[in-house]
Structure 1
């Protein structure tokens, strides 16, 4: 699957790095990537790099438990590159990261997508 498309590139012109700084859960999702059993990247900002790669910022989980909230997943804000996402392989079959084709750029907020997840906070 293609992780970057012309539509996504166009959307990042509206949401470059730091453009949604301070919005937290109200930040708009440009693209959602997922893989493995629970790894999820809700990318809210991104810019191309001189080397042809992309730098992204967003709210992410690798599906690890949150030690301070039993039964919940650990989510955090952070950076990831397109190349890093393309290189990830999940055991046992070596499947890669996929793009959620139902998430349209700028249509959903981080809080709307994350809080639907039972492991985050809603039962």
Structure 2
């Protein structure tokens, strides 16, 4: 398709406002690396998104499913990062690094262990 128009897209998405939202969200997905459903040639992401809509390759339901998948992946990534951070803290405590750090602060300041803890070291 050499040129895509709003009229081409409105045949597949009845509401122009929904069309704008759909095209914008899809263009963002393409910018983040999503696989296009049509040939890209040298078109910009917005044109590719509109071409996908005009060629009935994309609708709001498809977009919602794609977004749900992305959200699920982000949640999994966040849980993994949290678990890794938790393991790192556990390893530090198990190795006694935290106690050694606290002892070092005590020596540097000339404070007793209880005084260093009271000050937040």
Q: TM-score range by the shorter chain?
A: under 0.3
Q: Which has the higher helix share?
A: 2
- Say which one has the larger Rg: 2
Q: Which has the higher strand share?
A: 1
Structure with higher RCO (Cα < 8 A, 6+ apart): 1
TM-score (norm 1): 0.27
TM-score (norm 2): 0.28
